[in-house]
Amino acid sequence: MRFWGVRGSVPSPGPNTARYGGNTPCVEMRAGGHQLIFDLGTGVRVLGEQSPRPLNAHVFVSHYHYDHLQGLPFFTPMFDPRNQFVFHGPTRGTRTVKDVIEEQMQQPFFPVTAQMVFRAQSAYEPIAEGQTVTIGGITVQALEVNHPGGNLSYRIEFGGRTVVYATDAEHGKDDDRLTAFAKGADLFIYDAMYSEEEYRGQSGGPPKLGWGHSTWQHAITMANAAQVKQLCLFHHEPVRTDAQLDAIMRQVKKVRPDAVAAKEGQLISL
């Protein structure tokens, strides 16, 4: 697994976020000769710049909020006809993953449309909770989690190893289902955008209940309940500085020494 974007909501470049990174969500997996990409935040632009050609990948989109799609118009492999992609994502209302990918660049909000400039060979496969996608020896399962408008968490298994990608998941409503879904995972990538004080409005800002995100304290609770081997905090609050993330991790490691906070460029091998 390599992390290309780890922030939530909006890119946050600058000296105070440079060490963990300011790009929005994008995670790459390589397994069994296959390349999988999870979400298309601004981190996917950097992935595209550094990937060899031709590029053949399966892309799994968790949901269609801007921070998980906004890197796609700048993902240069999409402009190269040598490249091949299969996009997997949920159907929301009447819009399939194909509709969303093809329609998210529209005037007057963007100068060119996907139909005008995308040249890569692309296929589209809707995925919903309970379904499994098989790619060689890799299996990818989907689970709906608690987020406004819906969001899919993914469980990826290959060669006796398991990764669960659970970004944008607010704790409370679906904890038991997500705990069972993540049971025994080798790596649990979990939304830890807030602290409990921020979440409950006890730190000077408004409460974040219903906003669709969890806390680093609850990340520990979920990791313990699911008996995962390693916890990875993800979808960092955009105003959270590197120093503040360091301070959070010192507290987390007191009870979960295995835990890490996702950083851009970070590689985790299982």
The pLDDT, as a whole number, for residue 12 is: 98
Alpha-carbon distances of 84 from 68, 77, 114, 118, 212, rounded to whole Å: 20, 9, 15, 11, 33
Tell me which CATH homologous superfamily contains domain 2-261. Ribonuclease Z/Hydroxyacylglutathione hydrolase-like (3.60.15.10)
Look at the pTM and tell me if it is higher than 0.85.
yes
The pLDDT, as a whole number, for residue 211 is: 98
* Beta strands 152-158; 132-135: pairing state: unpaired
Alpha carbons 166 and 188: distance in angstroms, whole number:
7
> 45: which residues sit within 8 A by CB, 6+ positions away?
23, 71, 74, 75, 76
Query: Using an 8 Å Cβ cutoff, are 154 and 127 in contact?
Result: no
Percent of the chain with pLDDT over 90: 100
The pLDDT, as a whole number, for residue 190 is: 98
Over residues 201-207, mean pLDDT: 95
Q: What is the pLDDT of residues 114-161, one digit of tens each?
A: 999 999 999 999 999 999 999 999 999 999 999 999 999 999 999 999
Q: What is the pLDDT of residues 27-84, one digit of tens each?
A: 999 999 999 999 999 999 999 999 999 999 999 999 999 999 999 999 999 999 999 9
Which of 28, 30, 32, 22 shows the shortest CA–CA distance to 3? 28
The pLDDT, as a whole number, for residue 184 is: 98
Segments making up each domain of the chain, as ranges = 2-261
Q: What is the pLDDT of residues 76-94, one digit of tens each?
A: 999 999 999 999 999 999 9
